Chain A
Amino acid sequence: MRPDGTATLTFTGELDAISTPQAWSKLETEFAGSNVIRLEVDVRQLVCDSAGLALLYHLSVGGMTPGANVNLTGLSPELQHLLRSFSKEDFQALQEHEPTCSSFVEDVGAATWGWLRDLRQQVEFIGEVTVAIMKSLFRPRRMHWKEVFRVFDVAGVNALPVVSLLTFLVGMVIAFESAQPLEQLGAQVFVANLLGLVMSRELGPVMAAIMLAGRSGSAFAAELGTMKVNEELNALQTMGLSPVQFLVVQRVVAGILLTPVLTVFAMYAGLLGGIPVLLGLGFPLRMVLHQVQSGLHFGDLAEGISKSIVFGAIVASVSCLRGLQTGEGPRAVGESATRSVVSSILLIILADTIIASVTYALRK
């Protein structure tokens, strides 16, 4: 740097993505506070890539020497071509661009609106599915029974081991946990009655439905969602086929048929889980079975099974609805799968509460 404010900068060697950050910060400290009016930059012996060019561009627009007259010499034509693509305006536009941030009130409004719209879609969907199922029942030949059996196999038969294991363990835990408090009342033998009631009325159908939602509901949503992303649903519609008639009805019918089966397995597995615990507490097997028999009525089983039919319809139809609602792109498919599981479980518990309250009132 000379006293008249002219500085000369000569680059040699290589400026690439690895060496540029160092050179950048070194030059920044070098030029800080200096009062350069003219800057001569010599790059004749420089090999550089885009990173180096970014530094040269930053220098050439006076990014380090504000107000100075900067002159670049010795840049090859290819690099000149590339240097022309750098632009301060683009950079400023990007820096000034702020992601739109919505206010709290807006968020609340949007969420409420979305929720109401979803509710409306659900009601419409229930109607559409009911009509479609009725149509299929009157004309059973139009139903794709092969698809119904495939879903029954994949979502039902293949789920039996895991549902049985799960409820077996739950039954065991319930027997353990209730044995202690009931012992204080001297009523330990009623663990068997309790287990029978809980499994047949509540946990059998609920556990089976929750497993169905997690295992198969998410799969329905992902499958239909991917079909939507791939425009397969559009193809169906332009062929004059309704996606509900063609895809949803099969799954809902299969869901209604398979959940009671799963539920019966869940009930028995739960009871079986309790028996080793009761045997361990010193009750003979005959006594345990007698207790279960005397405590359990046909009405309890019927309640559990009818609940499971409702749950099956809920899980299958809500999952299909979430699949059909899928937006665009791979992320939307994941979102649909999540939403299907959350909505299914929420609605299962809600329906369970309603049915339990009604039957309680009826029994009185």
Chain B
Amino acid sequence: MNGDPHSLIEVRDLTIGYGDRRVLEGINFEVRRGEVFAILGVSGSGKSTLLKHLIGLYQPMRGDVLISGASIVHAEGDERLRILRKFGVLYQSGALFGSLTTVENVRLPLDEFTDLSEAAKDLIALSKLRLVGLESAATKLPADLSGGMQKRAGIARAIVMDPCLLFLDEPSAGLDPITSAGLDALIRELARGIGITFVIVTHELASIYAVADRVVVLDPKTRGIAAEGAPSWLRENASQPWVRQFLKREAA
């Protein structure tokens, strides 16, 4: 079923949309193990919709998404749960549960899915918080954290079950450039240090050049992929002029 052992995600002939409206038609790409992959596009090009299909929240109109060779589109029950365990997701707002403290938020998956002792669960949750630099905010409520800290806590919760894959939806949205750069450094550290594969949806060019190994650029006009490759290479060599302009931050 899995053609290439190096690819972690395979998107095959995927068509997605709402009702009768098609957002993307017949797209194909793959994400390789260990890389930081970015999905890029102008507002309204279907980046976030594509992400929600990759993580199995929405059903596509046609086509398939394979994660480690298993289809998340057709999986049900325990098989679906097994695929879901392979990845973590950071939502745009962090999506922390407001009634739980930071460490309780991070512990939640451990509480629900494992039989570890209380001390072990605390140890693991705290280690993840230290990994994202939030060990001193463990007992704070999400409302008392800044936007950047909430995203870090969201990442800590997403990696607590040791996924090999992490999806980030607009990680730098609403953050100042310095906090955003700190988040980029964290992504690089997690990717190089413990080998997590990242799929990032963003329109923040600065962080793409800082972290992404490869990008796909979505084209809202053709509802397909306009370009695919390393961001700095595409900036000079993309076949379509608007992609080069977009990557150089020039108005088309």
Contacts and interface: CB of A to CB of B under 8 A. Distances in A.
Interface of A: 17-18, 20-21, 24, 49-51, 53-55, 57-58, 78, 81-82, 85-87, 90-91, 93-95, 97, 328-331
Contact of A82 (B98, B103, B116, B194): B194
B120 A94 contact: no
Contact of A51 (B120, B129, B138, B139): B120
B115 A21 contact: yes
29 contacts: A17-B161, A18-B114, A18-B115, A20-B116, A20-B120, A21-B117, A21-B120, A24-B120, A49-B162, A50-B124, A50-B128, A50-B161, A53-B127, A54-B116, A54-B120, A58-B119, A58-B120, A78-B194, A78-B195, A81-B194, A82-B127, A82-B194, A85-B127, A85-B128, A86-B126, A87-B126, A90-B129, A91-B126, A328-B143
Interface residue SS majority, chain A: helix
A331 B99 contact: yes
Contacts of A82: 127, 131, 193-194
Contacts of B123: 54, 57-58, 86, 91
A21 B120 CA distance: 9
Nearest to B162: A49
Given A78-B194, A90-B135, A94-B138, A50 B143 contact: no
Contact of B110 (A17, A53, A81, A329): A17
A283 to B, nearest CB: 59
A51 B115 CA distance: 10
Nearest to B133: A85
Contacts of A51: 114, 116, 120, 124
Contact of A55 (B98, B113, B114, B120): B120
A2 B129 CA distance: 39
Interface string B91-130: 0000000110001000000100111110110111011111
B168 interface: no
The 5 A-B residue pairs whose C-beta atoms are closest, nearest first, are A17-B114, A49-B162, A85-B131, A85-B127, A90-B126
Given A53-B124, A91-B119, 6 more contacts: A21-B115, A58-B123, A85-B130, A86-B130, A94-B126, A97-B139
A50 B160 contact: yes
B116 to A, nearest CB: 5
Interface residue SS majority, chain B: helix
A51 B113 CA distance: 12
A50 B117 contact: no
A120 to B, nearest CB: 25
Interface string B157-175: 0001110000000000000
Contacts of B113: 17
B91 to A, nearest CB: 14
Range of interface residues on B (Cβ < 8 Å): 20 to 34
A121 B2 CA distance: 65
Nearest to B195: A78
B74 to A, nearest CB: 26
B116 A87 contact: no
Given A21-B117, A51-B124, A329-B98, A90 B194 contact: no
B122 to A, nearest CB: 6
Greatest chain B CB density within 10 A among A18, A54, A55 is at A54
B129 A24 contact: no
Greatest chain B CB density within 10 A among A24, A93, A94 is at A94
A83 B62 CA distance: 43
Nearest to A63: B119
Contacts of B114: 17-18, 21, 51
Contacts of B161: 17, 50
Contact of A54 (B98, B99, B115, B124): B124
A351 to B, nearest CB: 35
A18 B116 CA distance: 8
B116 A17 contact: yes
B116 A86 contact: no
Contacts of B124: 50-51, 53-54
Nearest to A330: B98
Contacts of B129: 90
A55 B116 CA distance: 10
A20 B121 CA distance: 11
Interface in B183-207: 193-195
A91 B135 CA distance: 10
Nearest to A88: B123
A331 B97 CA distance: 10
A249 to B, nearest CB: 32
Contacts of A49: 162
Contacts of A86: 123, 126-127, 130
B127 A50 contact: yes
Given A54-B124, A82-B127, A94 B194 contact: no
Contacts of B103: 94
Contact of A93 (B115, B127, B138): B138
A59 to B, nearest CB: 12
A95 B130 CA distance: 16
Given A20-B116, A24-B120, A81-B193, A90 B143 contact: no
B193 A87 contact: no
B77 to A, nearest CB: 19
Contacts of A81: 193-194
Contacts of B138: 90, 93-94, 97
